Structure 1
Amino acid sequence: MTTRHASTVSPVELLSEYRAGSSFFFSSPRGVLLAEGVAAPVPSVAAPGELRALPGRVAQVLAEAEPGALVVGAVPFDHNAAASLVVPEVVRRAEAFSSEVRLPELSMNVPEWEITPVPEPAAYVRSVRAALTPLGSGELDKVVLARSLALTAPTTVDLGRLLNNLIRRDPAGYSFAADLPGRTLIGASPELLLSRRGGKVLSNPLAGSAARSADPEEDQRRAAALLVSAKDRHEHAVVVDAVAAALRPYCRTLDVPAAPELVRTATMWHLSTRVTGELADERSSALELAAALHPTPAVCGTPVEAARETINALEPFDRGFYTGMVGWCDGRGDGDWVVTIRCAEADDHSLRLFAGAGIVGDSSPEAELAETAAKFRTLLLAMGIEQIA
């Protein structure tokens, strides 16, 4: 197992050297990472309790690797499904993209996309309406229901160009491209699941959203309305409480702000809370902590098992790696894992986009449909598609 670390280069250079099928790319406010090749895979199989077993297996693989080795890749939504993690051969790092770096908007060179919604919008509205029954009875407090868009192109899809466009629109966000068996997971997530550096941990749950507006006054009005929305504040509090409860057993101190803040991406406003802590035992790795958090109510619901059952009953597709987590972890336990949202699974000629909305008792099915349409815009605009599905 030979992992070597090349010299530091610029973030733009690392982006230009990304190649789908042989690279892992991860951009965050802390910096940019490009990993190439496979020195060793991390064994993972579809089996009950796979997510619980994964951190120990990763620690074992890293213990056998040379000093400084990383594990990179993605973990699916289903905690019993197989992950896609490897120790790369080469790892290169660069400073984070800054607002001063002006990436060009690159054409995807696709003359026409064939777009198929799964489910159809009307069917999604019916699913949301169906979820309101267990929510109204108290069986559920929240459930996240997703829909997808299947896009097919007559020409080869250039994922390097798509990654460039995603970063151009949100350079301070979390952009990623990770190899999966036969395809690529690509996206720009606004949500940090777990970051660990030494004994310090950070989780930044987002829940409660509003679409951005091109009109500055309307945009600010939407942001202000989101901040005081009782429905969105409740949805957000459910997620923050769950994150704090999951982290508390691992931390000797934990700081949970009393009220959320607003954060924005190019397409959405979100309610945000930064939960910070100090580990009681530094042997707890970033992946172990992320696995303890996954899935948060921001992408699944609460109670978790009842929400899973509702998702399985109402969503007409397998989420795969959507609403899983993507990132990296090193032998010291440090690492970053983000929630796999605003993403697509892609191959040479097709992409499958995903977007979800948090459903609570007073949700409007039509409003939740509109929220998913707004969330699709992150990928659609990067692909040069103006229409909203």
Structure 2
Amino acid sequence: MPPPALVRPRPVHRAADLLAAYLPGSFYFASARGSLLADGVHTTVRAGHGARARAAAEVLDAAAVGGVDEPLVVGAIGFRPEAEASLVVPALVRRAGANTAVDVPATPFGSTRWAITPRPEPEAYADGVREALELIGGGELAKVVLARCLELVAGDPVSVPSLLARLVRADPAAHAFAADVSAPGDPAPRTLVGASPELLLSRRGAVVTSNPLAGSRPRVADEAENRRRVAELLASEKDRHEHAHVAAQVAEVLGGFCADLDVPAEPVVIGTPTMWHLSTRITGRLADPTDPGSSSLALAEALHPTPAVCGVPVGRARDAIAGLEPEDRGYYSGLVGWTGLEGDGEWVVTIRSAEVCDRTVRLFAGAGVVAGSDPAAELAETSAKFRTLLRALGLEGAA
């Protein structure tokens, strides 16, 4: 009788160890499901919009045949269909449990000298909201999400590992990520880094989950005022209507893949350190988990972009965004995450994020414009959403 096959023990890592080991060029992703750190490139996924999930499945199969143990595709995809993407099968993947507050060390942030340029200026952003309201009033749109950008230039190169660690420490429950998105012509490596509160799609076996967010209020230090804002958000007809658009579209898309779907009748409010959001957690069971078209990446691309980051109807909202926003979003409001050989994976919406290249940091934040929106209030909402990254950079008052 042949001897039993040797089982190679898997190394055990702590979440804090993976975070401490992150260096620019690696891929880092953490959520309540666990954390992973990926290094090196075994294969690059080269495919355009509509073909990425199929291409990812093909390179994963080839990597498995080539001896890669439990291969993954990791990376990020930009907002627009023609936008750039950065997807690879890494050479090495290490996994650990979820982050906790005690696990994450405090890290100083070096640079204190910054030049900050809003793009567009706040007044111009408010004018864009007014133009969007005219489109909505004319019946062309039901909703459009308008974003604005802050470009920050530091006196010294920005430490992405320090920024990532500070984001994780501030909110260990967020989906924290850092992905290399360098492109030809970049003067230095470019990293997409952030802490997103919004789960686009998680798949584990036959079970899929999406947690769209839409409708929000800034969070403040006074707890009595926070309770008032939460109650106001739950009672707001405008915010509930905006949220209903998003939840309905997510449910409609997932319904095409699932044998059963659970969609709560009412949203709840969830909080981050800087914001309160209306939230609906939608879960389903796939009709055919073996179908390559129901991998986590395929489902995430089918859902993207939700009305939470684009609008209703999607095509017209995208066109309006292209006409009203002076800055290309790049990877902002796209998706970032991972998918595995069997289709399992996790993808989040790329919000509360920045692209960092040497001394330059580009932040985006958006607000959903619907009938009844107030330009000043939407401008204030984007300022509140900037706080996640600005806090981590030591610049909270700059929004």
- The aligned counterpart of 1:274 is 281
Report the AA paired with residue 306 of structure 1.
R
What is the CA–CA distance in structure 1 between the aligned matches of 2:328 and 2:35, rounded to whole Å? 30
**Where does 1:308-319 land on structure 2 (aligned, <5 Å)?**
308-319=318-329
**Where does 1:292-311 land on structure 2 (aligned, <5 Å)?**
292-311=302-321
Aligned residue among 228, 234, 239 for 1:227: 234
- The aligned counterpart of 2:16 is 12
Structure 2 contact 75–338 (Cα < 8 Å) conserved: yes
Deviation at 1:377, TM superposition (A): 0.1
Deviation at 1:109, TM superposition (A): 0.9
- The aligned counterpart of 1:171 is 172
Deviation at 1:173, TM superposition (A): 1.1
Aligned residue among 156, 179, 191 for 1:184: 191
Structural RMSD (CA): 1.3
What is the CA–CA distance in structure 2 between the aligned matches of 1:114 and 1:163, rounded to whole Å? 21
Q: Please state whether the residue corresponding to 1:65 is helix, strand or coil.
A: helix
Report the AA paired with residue 93 of structure 2.
V
**Residue 145 (str. 1) matches residue 146 (str. 2):** yes
What is the CA–CA distance in structure 1 between the aligned matches of 2:381 and 2:209, rounded to whole Å? 27
**Structure 1 outlier segments of 4+, above 4 Å:** none
What is the CA–CA distance in structure 2 between the aligned matches of 1:39 and 1:6, rounded to whole Å? 20
Q: Please state whether the residue corresponding to 1:51 is helix, strand or coil.
A: coil
Aligned residue among 204, 223, 246 for 1:197: 204
TM-superposition CA deviations, 1:348-376 (whole Å, max 9, x none): 11110010000001000000000000000
Structure 1 unaligned regions, length at least 5 = 45-49
What is the CA–CA distance in structure 1 between the aligned matches of 2:10 and 2:109, rounded to whole Å? 30
What is the CA–CA distance in structure 1 between the aligned matches of 2:288 and 2:278, rounded to whole Å? 30
TM-score (norm 2): 0.93
**Residue 358 (str. 1) matches residue 368 (str. 2):** yes
Structure 1 contact 374–388 (Cα < 8 Å) conserved: no
Report the AA paired with residue 129 of structure 1.
R
What is the CA–CA distance in structure 1 between the aligned matches of 2:157 and 2:85, rounded to whole Å? 27
What is the CA–CA distance in structure 2 between the aligned matches of 1:105 and 1:127, rounded to whole Å? 39
TM-superposition CA deviations, 1:277-299 (whole Å, max 9, x none): 00011121000100100000000
Percent identity over the alignment is 57
Structure 2 contact 84–330 (Cα < 8 Å) conserved: no
Structure 1 contact 328–337 (Cα < 8 Å) conserved: yes
What is the CA–CA distance in structure 1 between the aligned matches of 2:269 and 2:27, rounded to whole Å? 30
Aligned residue among 33, 43, 46 for 1:43: 46
- The aligned counterpart of 2:127 is 126
**Where does 1:325-344 land on structure 2 (aligned, <5 Å)?**
325-344=335-354
- The aligned counterpart of 2:5 is none
TM-score (norm 1): 0.95
What is the CA–CA distance in structure 1 between the aligned matches of 2:151 and 2:245, rounded to whole Å? 31
Deviation at 1:7, TM superposition (A): 1.6
Deviation at 1:137, TM superposition (A): 1.8
